[in-house]
Structure 1
Amino acid sequence: MPRPRRTQISIEDTPWYHTVSRCVRKAWLTGVDPNTGQSYEHRRDWVESQLLKLADIFAIDIAAYVVMSNHLHLVLRIDIELANSWTDREVVEQWHQLFKGTELTQRFAKGELVEELNLSQLRHSIADYRSRLSDISWFMRCLNEPIARMANKEDKCTGRFWEGRFKSQALLDEAAVLTCMAYVDLNPIRAKMAQTPDKSDYTSIQARIKAALIGEQPQSLVPFIGGERFNQPKGINFSLQDYLQLVDEMGRILREDKRGSISVSSSKILKTLNISTGNWIKLTSEFGKIFHGPVGTTQELTNYCEHLQKRRRHFAKCCRYLEDG
């Protein structure tokens, strides 16, 4: 039986999560349906546009994403500090980009006077919006529902387009985050949808590569801050160039027509994470098969399970891939 979402997401333990949404009824999200020959490639733009729009509205950052033929992967970071720093008016303005809100919040957003007898109701609505704007379930709802409506309209049918629940995995440490990101970024190559990361359309890795060519990083994605970690409010504590090279080399290993290996310069990340080259290849090739629950070292998994009062540390044996450096 599926666990309630509240038992899977714990901000106190980690702000990082891997989510997966899959289509039902053999529906095709993008690409060409081999059964009918119909192309749904234009839906990639639907997903990416809505995803990047939500990143500007929610207090949730995107670290990695990929849109596959019948599912999509995201690596997300909940920025609870940002949500708490917003003023009441900013919270309402963010929420109104997605929903109409109430008559009270509409008046408040326009700067109109709200009667004292209605202040309690207004404060309750604002607190509710602030909580939702840092909630992964609401983020995924606002991503998936518009796509489902457009796809059903195009397919001239009704009913569910997505599975009832999206899959959510807690990423408990840096090793879990980096390996999951690389797994997500390499999905098109494993599926033979692309030859190289830079040719993987509508993905975070392509966006990072394009921005890196002009010495920048995508504003819509969590930045790699490397040695500048002490001068940055948030980010991934590794060099962007090291990560891009590591993903590129791993992509070559996955391709049957290429000889690939992990170079000394790229292995700096693996040394920092204390992951062996063999385990890195295993993790980034089979992450989805190895882990079906929270991901992290044995100690991190133990802390997570104890905090959430889980009696058993499910999937603890999989931790060895993140520990045998």
Structure 2
Amino acid sequence: MPRPRRTQISIEDTPYYHCCSRVVRRAYLCGNDPYSGKNYDHRRAWVEALLIKLAGVFAIDIAAFAVMSNHLHVVLKVDIDTANNWSDKKVIEQWHKLFKGDELTHRFVNGNIIEAHEIEQLKHAIAVYRSRLCDISWFMRCLNEPIARQANQEDKCTGRFWEGRFKSQALLDDAALLTCMAYVDLNPIRAKISDTPEHSDHTSIQLRIQGVLKGEQPKTLLPFIGNELQNQGRGIAFSLSDYLELLDETGRIIRNDKRGAISEHSEKLLSRISIPPKNWLKLTTEFGQLFHGPVGTLDELTCYCEHLEKRRRHFSSCCQYLKAN
């Protein structure tokens, strides 16, 4: 039986979560539908544009995403500190970017007088909005509902477009994060939608490669900041160049028409997160089959279950792939 979403989120253990939404009724989010003969590639742009918009509204960063033919993947980082540091006015301004709000919140933002008896109501609204703006469920709701309405309008039908619940996985350590990001970034190559990461349209990896060519990192994505001991900024504690090199080598191995191998340099990156090279390919190609719940080492999984008061450590047998033998 599915567990409530609040019992799957433990910010104390990790801010990173892998979310996946899948369509129903044999629908196609994008790509060619062999049954109707229609092409829905244009819907990819819908999803990417909305993802970027939501990243600018929520206190949630996007680490990776990929839009596939009948599902989408996104790796998110919940930024509680940013949400807590927003002023009351900033919280309402962010909320108004997506929702109308009410007469009271608009008066507050415009600097109009708030009566004494309205202050408690206003404070409650701000607290609710602040909580929702760092809530993964609200993020996915604001992503999936507009896409569903737009797709239904285009298909001239009603009813569900997405499955009832999106899949959410806690990524409990650096190994889980890097592995999941690589799995998401290489999804189009495994599905043979594209030949190389740079040609994988409407994906985070394409945006990162385009940024590198300009000598910058995409402002819409959570940046790579290198060694976390040397850089205390907000971002992914790996070098972007190292990650792109590892991803390119892995992609070449996955493709049957390319010769590829994990280089010594990439092996050093994998050793840093205690993943044996022989396990890396299995993890990045079978991540979805191996892990159906939280992902991390056995110690991290144990702490996560204790904090959420879970009696059993489900999927603990898969932890063996995330550590050196």
TM-score (norm 2): 0.98
Q: Which residue of 2 aligns with 1:204?
A: 204
Displacement of 1:231: 4.0
- TM-fit CA distance, 1:10: 1.2
Q: After TM superposition, where is structure 1 displaced by more than 2 Å over at least 4 residues in a row?
A: 227-233
CA RMSD of aligned residues (A): 0.9
* Residues in 2 aligned to 1:33 and 1:174: alpha-carbon distance in whole angstroms: 37
In the comparison of the two structures, how many residue pairs are matched? 325
> Does residue 35 of structure 1 match 2:35?
yes
| SS in structure 1 of the partner of residue 257 of structure 2 | coil
- Which residue number corresponds to residue 102 of structure 1? 102
Q: CA deviation at 1:268?
A: 2.2
Aligned to 1:93: 93
1:1-325 → structure 2 map (5 Å cutoff):
1-227=1-227, 230-324=230-324
CA distance in 2 between counterparts of 1:159 and 1:116 reads 45
CA distance in 1, matches of 2:163, 2:289: 19
Q: Which whole-Å CA distance do the structure 2 matches of 1:83 and 1:126 have between them?
A: 11
Report the AA paired with residue 252 of structure 1. Answer: R
Partners of 1:261 and 1:213 in 2: how far apart? 24
Offset at 1:112? 0.7
Q: Secondary structure at the match of 1:58?
A: coil
CA contact 1:291–1:315 (8 Å) conserved in 2:
yes
Identity, in percent, stands at: 68
One-letter amino acid of the counterpart of residue 287, structure 1: F
Structure 1, gaps ≥5 residues long? none
Contact 1:62 1:221 in 2 (8 A): yes
Maintained 8 Å contact 2:169/2:295: yes
The answer to whether the 8 A contact 2:18-2:180 is kept is yes
3-state SS of paired residue (1:226): coil
Could you state the TM-score of these two structures normalised by the residue count of structure 1?
Answer: 0.98
The CA distance in 1 between the partners of 2:229 and 2:221, in whole Å, is 16
- Taking the aligned partners of 2:185 and 2:106, their CA distance within structure 1 comes to 41
Question: Aligned partners of 1:240 and 1:157: how far apart in 2?
Answer: 43
Change over 3 Å in CA distance of 1:229–1:45 after alignment to 2: farther
Q: Distance in 2 between matches of 1:244 and 1:300?
A: 27
Task: Measure, in 1, the Cα distance between the counterparts of 2:12 and 2:186.
Answer: 30
Task: Tell me how far 1:40 sits from its aligned partner.
Answer: 0.6
SS at match of 2:64: strand
